[in-house]
Amino acid sequence: MNGILPLWKEKGMTSHDCVYKLRKILGTKKVGHTGTLDPNVEGVLPICIGQATKVAEYITDSGKEYVAVISIGKATETEDADGAIVTDNNEFKRFSRVEIESTLTKLTGEIEQTPPMYSAVKVNGHKLYEYARKGIEVERPKRIVKIHELELLDDANEFEGTEVNFEIRISCGKGTYIRTLAVQIGELLGYPAHMASLVRTASGTYRKADCHTLKELEVLKDADQLATSIHPLEDALAEFPFVEIDDKDYDKIIHGQVLPKDPLLDEGYPIVFTKNNKALAVYKIHPTKPELMKPEKMFPVNH
């Protein structure tokens, strides 16, 4: 069993919990997720099975889409609704739609973020949340992330109250912390803020309509029925150029030989060599010999 299973992760479960349960349902140990979702977040979590675990990193690095509720008025230690309140501004607030949309525009594009203390980012070999639980404050590495699009989903023209909530859609690149984005929105509006709720609506090419829940998969006990829910591993490579090879190059590719560089590599992406539309290898420019290319990933002929 090889391929990608788009899972709808429900609240209350870790990504590892999902992998553990799927190993039992699918009857295989070779199962891996494509980027963690916090237990309090539900949404699209593509699962790689068998040979598809080799392409998990490509899905992890692909774009994501979320729907989040931003709450203006309170800041929490975790930057989401689960953390203890550290700042509480109870004054009456009023924002126009134009003001909020202008704020979202300012945060679109490449922006700098500082990961929250309650996160899995490692500093000096330890995860930030390990420091946070001990009450130790450490310097956190800043990162540049890409926000492709921010859209205000609520249709109101005025937002007011002592605590103001509104829903937004986020299309972003890898490494983006939506919790931190909520705090940044609040900072530009002049108030403390946190992320009240979050749903991941897309990961790479997969959306909710492609997904199954664990309960649905448990019903599909038959292997043939389960197989119909699994997408080919080629899906994870869809953003790269595909090159269907002829018989003269077949043996070279399946044995992972270093070859003269294909001009397609000049586009900045790896290329996927296929036979009968099945991926055989992902090639990239040789790290020390730019006129050559070498395999980054290899797949069995009959995966």
Q: Which helix (H) or strand (E) holds 242?
A: strand 242-244
Of residues 66, 9, 5, the one with CA closest to residue 32: 5
Distance CA 31, CA 47 (A): 7
User: Look-up: residue for tokens 């501004």?
Assistant: 89
Catalytic residue among 17, 38, 210, 222: 38
Of residues 200, 180, 230, 227, the one with CA closest to residue 76: 180
Of residues 39, 93, 43, 46, the one with CA closest to residue 70: 93
Distance CA 32, CA 175 (A): 19
Distance CA 295, CA 280 (A): 10
CB within 8 Å of 95: residues ≥ 6 apart? 72, 158, 159, 160, 164, 189
Instruction: State yes or no: is 88 an active-site residue.
Output: no
Rg (CA), the chain: 22
Q: Which two tokens stand for residue 245?
A: 């090879």
The DSSP output letter for 141 is: P
Contact 163, 73 (CB under 8 A): yes
User: Look-up: residue for tokens 């119909």?
Assistant: 228
Distance CA 179, CA 220 (A): 36
Known catalytic residues are 38
